[in-house]
Structure 1
Amino acid sequence: MTGWTADDIPDQRGRVAVVTGANSGLGLVTATELARRGARVVLAVRNTAAGADAARRIGGAVQVRELDLASLGSVRAFAARLAAEHPAIDLLVNNAGVVLLGPRRTSADGYELQLATNLLGHFALTGLLLANLAAAGQARVVGLSSITHRSAHLDFDDLLFERDYRASAAYGRSKLATTVFGVELDRRLRAAGSPVASVLAHPGLTRTNLTPRAWEHRGRLGRLIARAGLIVTQPVERGTLPQLHAATAPGVRGGQFFGPSGLWETRGRVAEARLSREAADPAVGRRLWAAAQDLTGVRYL
């Protein structure tokens, strides 16, 4: 996979791809490249006006559908409509995410917002669309991890950070949880003999709209940190390559994890990435799966 670029994406004609958070950043680039190769792309977005603007810029066979991952009611409504519209779904890219600074915020269901959006919404969405993914024959689910997952820990006694809340730690926990979910999903799909593959990717340090937006309310210091990010991060087009590779490259197997290959996986060419010990632990995977089922009410595999 040395030197793999978006130009190496195979022909996607006849395939249906769903990309969450597709109106900006990594999601927009992912949706654009998939559409450029002929896929029928569904932009699953919270802001449908922004989604419509993105669809006009992308062109091709692109649909916009409303999805608020921080509301399990929205996830269920979106999944029901999509399942009816597309009996077979070839690709689900669980790209959307939120990073916060400041005080603890909660989702529509009362859960810590970062875990609710980054993990629970995608956990429920994947389960509700699993039959449609299986119907496609060789579908893939791509989860978006982060290098921050390696320094995080899942405290199952306070998974939702109801005590001693720290926004940065909660974000790291949400990305570790997302990573554990992708690995455990692969285990369960293989055990069930499913044709669906679960694959993970991370973008290294990439310039997206998440970090500047999170820091903008922190005054001069926040603006300085946002500007520093422009120096140490790579362009979003480069950062998107690991998830595009996971989504489309021939020979990708369930359970693989892709990221940049250089400078501690912060930037560079696509290569296989390193999971933390906790992310790879089957016991952690089983505990998180049970917790996610209880919190979402969505049970599968």
Structure 2
Amino acid sequence: MKLEELIQKRFVSTAALAERLTTYNGVPAVFSPEAPGDEQDGWGGETQYPMVTYNYDLQANEERNSAGSLSVSIFCQNTTDVFPEDIAPIVKECLRDVILLPEGGTPYCFTWARTDAFTMGEDAGKAGVVIGCEVRFDILEYPSMETSDPDPVMAVDKYIKELYPKCLVMGYDRMEEITEASADQPVVYCRLISSEKQEETNTVAWMDGRIAVHVLCPESTVRLKMAADIANHLSLDGEVIMLDYSPMFIKRLQVNYKSDYLKEGQVFITGHYGLLRYKAKPHVLMAAHGNYS
């Protein structure tokens, strides 16, 4: 599915949201980018409200450290029992710590940015006036950080997966179209922030790679405990074995419990690892003689 279809699927399949919306052709009234006109037969002669429309823009915003933005508009009438203020928290919760994986694309996550109320019409106190609010999210992209062998990110992915077999590690485990992080199954994402050559010898080029570890979970206590536990294990082990069985030494380790776990991460690792200049050569059979007698 495309990202637009996955957002639609997530909204429609959320029972708390669907039960507060009217229906169009028997389906909860969620549309992109605009709703059908009130003359359409799909409304079944019923009111159009409450309903939700959404639109997104995948244009990177470096200032907000995001890959784009999602705008969700909630429309109600002031004569109904359901108000935009009732639906907005459900929309926020619906996308909280949820990872969407479009077909052929990279995983996306959403973080709430702001909510603005609005009124359609001049007389807000008049019966039947449409009121609503716009809930805006920053879209965060979590691309695969797999580089080349030896790969420091894949090594940390494997290390955390062995430490927490029940967690889901992006880039290591198979992802579904819609994944919801939870206390029972937190989601971990590791990314390479930077790499720098520190020294070199005749056989090895020594690199320092800085890696950020994101622990996604709606419960803050689980996030904090898991981040602290990962850092403690790394401190005690002192190294992470890479996929070619060479060690990556933990040169520096930092944990920030107040950082934005979606945008920045909580655990920051500086790993010291080597790149071999020469590959091991197989033994060559020299001076072979055959005897066919």
Asked if these proteins are the same fold (TM beyond 0.5), I'd say: no
* Structure with the larger RCO, 1 or 2 (CA within 8 Å, 6+ apart): 1
TM-score of the pair, normalised by structure 1: 0.28
Which structure's CA Rg is the greater one? 2
Q: Pick the structure with more strand per residue.
A: 2
TM-score of the pair, normalised by structure 2: 0.28
